[in-house]
Each structure stands twice: as C-alpha cells, then as structure tokens.
Amino acid sequence: MDTAYCKLDGVTYYIASFASLPQREIQEKRRHLLCPDPKCGWQAYFKRAASSGQGACFGARPHAPNCSLAAPISESGPGSNETKDILRNPMDHIVIDTAFGAHGSLHIDGEDEAPGAPRGGRFTGDGPRGPAKMNRRLRPLLKSLISSEQFRRSSSVIELPQYLSLPVNQFFVHFDDAGPEHENRFHGFWGLVFDTGMSYSGAFWLNTGEYDELSVMIPAHLYDDFKKRFGFQLDYELEGMHVLVLGRLRAAQSGKQYIELEDLSMCALCDD
C-alpha cells in the first residue's frame, strides 16, 4: 500500500515521503504505523527499497477482515499449496514437521494412517481411526497465521512432537500479545520484524514489538547458517518480514523479553 498512518504524529504518510525521512525518524516511526483504512487500522510496516530493485513500500499483515486495502496473499512460491490446503481442510490435529530442508513431510508414527493412505499430511477423512492428523511445515503455518483470522482463532490441536500440543489459538502467540504469563513457556511466537541489530557478542537480533520490548535472538554460532538458510545477504532485508519462532520466552534483567533460536528448524520467515 502507498500510505500508512503514524500514531506518533497523526500523519498519514505517502511512501516516497516516508522513505526520505531521516534514518532516526524512520526507525522511530516505523513501529507505530497503522493501515490507513478507517475500517482497519491494524499494524503496518515499512520496508525500504531492496537491492533487488523492489521499491520501498508499506504493508500490513494481517488487515482487518473488511479492509479495502487487503490484498490476497501471494499464491505463488513454495508452500502456497500447503497454505491453501490448511485453509481448506477441516483439521482436527496438525503435527508440525520441522525436518530440516524437507519438502515432503515427515511421517510421524504412522498409527493413524491406514496402509496406502495418502502421505504428506493430507486430510484423510474422519473415519473410525480417530482424529485426522496432517503434517505441516512452519512456513505454511506462518502464512496461515498471517492470512487467516479463522486459523488464528482455531481450536484445532497443533502438536510439536516431544514438546507440546495445544489448540492453535493458544499454541501461537503474536509478539504483541506476549506478556509475563508467557515467560519461560514454550510457544510458537510470531509477528513482524521492525528492524535488526547485532550485539557485540555477534548475536543477531530481530526486533519487534511497538516499543522494542521483544526480540528474537539468533546466537552468533547460528548466524551464518541462518543467513544461508533464509537466503538473505544484508541484515536489513529482514525488516518488514514475518517471523515464526518456536521457543521459550525469556526475560532479560533489563526487562526486555526475547526468544533465543535454538535450532534453525524452529524458525520460519515469510515475505509478502
């Protein structure tokens, strides 16, 4: 979208004007942007021009259901069929597949699938075998979180084997909703990356939250692999992307909350 409303100064900015503001002003205001449609007003983000040639833009994911500026989520690219599948199928039980680099799906225990049943996590009906399970990788799940309020509110069970099972609406926690009650608990935390930072120790920080009170921390020893896996070269390319990270919410002595990425397979990124 070409315009966004800034809560700090009450100005509706045109993208070209916003992009030419002084850097410090951008850093401050980008956290307080909203979709300018009065029926919407949901959190928006700013992305500066990319080295690929794509110009600066504003965006919001999600928009309110009746927002006139909401565009359908891209249907191209890897994972799109899975996303559609997730939204289309009635699901009782989703098993998260974190297998590194896997394109199919991991076959979990097999007890719930009859011989010859379709592999790859397709919904297989609600026959006598009990709840249908489907396997899903993180990126399509992140896309569903972004694009579907129905999914965010769903009470279908989602399971990360050996960690936890919870209804979708409790398993996933948007960064803006993370509070003291989530500290030291394991969840799928997700939301927008506003900016990034590198600490002296070499840890890479994905900063989120309106007041920079919550970050995802990529430890120094994972940084190179993280860049390779997600295919970016410059740190700022992550600004305006959505991230989903499975992990425990911690509180630093300063009071700042963070989630340390423990394994690359516990993280997904999604660009619009």
Smaller CB distance to Zn ion: residue 68 or 199? 68
Backbone angles phi, psi at 241, to 5 degrees: -90, 160
In the complex, least distance from residue 154 CB atom to Zn ion, rounded to whole angstroms: 22
Task: Cite the DSSP H helix spans in 177-266.
Answer: 220-230
Smaller CB distance to Zn ion: residue 34 or 166? 34
Q: According to CB under 5 A, which one of 69, 138, 192, 238 is a site residue for Zn ion? A: 69
Applying CB under 5 A, does 133 fall inside the site for Zn ion?
Answer: no
Strand partners, 93: 133, 157
In the complex, least distance from residue 40 CB atom to Zn ion, rounded to whole angstroms: 3
Would you give the binding string for Zn ion spanning residues 25-44, x where CB under 5 A is met?
----------x-x--x----
Smaller CB distance to Zn ion: residue 67 or 245? 67
Nearest-5° angle of CA 186, CA 188, CA 189?
Answer: 100
Applying CB under 5 A, does 82 fall inside the site for Zn ion?
Answer: no
In the complex, least distance from residue 1 CB atom to Zn ion, rounded to whole angstroms: 8
In the complex, least distance from residue 5 CB atom to Zn ion, rounded to whole angstroms: 10
Applying CB under 5 A, does 113 fall inside the site for Zn ion?
Answer: no
Applying CB under 5 A, does 146 fall inside the site for Zn ion?
Answer: no
Smaller CB distance to Zn ion: residue 69 or 95? 69
Q: Strands 93-97 and 157-160, how do they pair?
A: parallel
In the complex, least distance from residue 70 CB atom to Zn ion, rounded to whole angstroms: 6
Smaller CB distance to Zn ion: residue 62 or 79? 62
Smaller CB distance to Zn ion: residue 6 or 96? 6
Strand partners, 62: none
In the complex, least distance from residue 64 CB atom to Zn ion, rounded to whole angstroms: 6
Contact 186, 247 (CB under 8 A): yes
Residue 239 buriedness (CB in 10 A; 0-12 / 13-18 / 19+): buried
Binning the chain into helix, strand and coil, the percentages to the nearest 5 are 25, 30, 45
Contacts with Zn ion in 46-65 (CB under 5 A)? Answer: 63
Q: Determine the 3-state secondary structure of 139 from DSSP.
A: helix
Nearby residues of 190 by Cβ (< 8 Å), 6 or more positions away? 142, 145, 172, 173, 174, 175, 242, 243, 244, 245
Residue 32 buriedness (CB in 10 A; 0-12 / 13-18 / 19+): middle
Smaller CB distance to Zn ion: residue 40 or 218? 40
Q: According to CB under 5 A, which one of 4, 57, 67, 216 is a site residue for Zn ion? A: 67
Q: Considering CB under 5 A, how many residues would be counted as binding Zn ion?
A: 6
- Comparing CA positions, the residue from 183, 196, 190 lying closest to residue 245 is 190
Interacting residues toward Zn ion by CB under 5 A: 35, 37, 40, 63, 67, 69
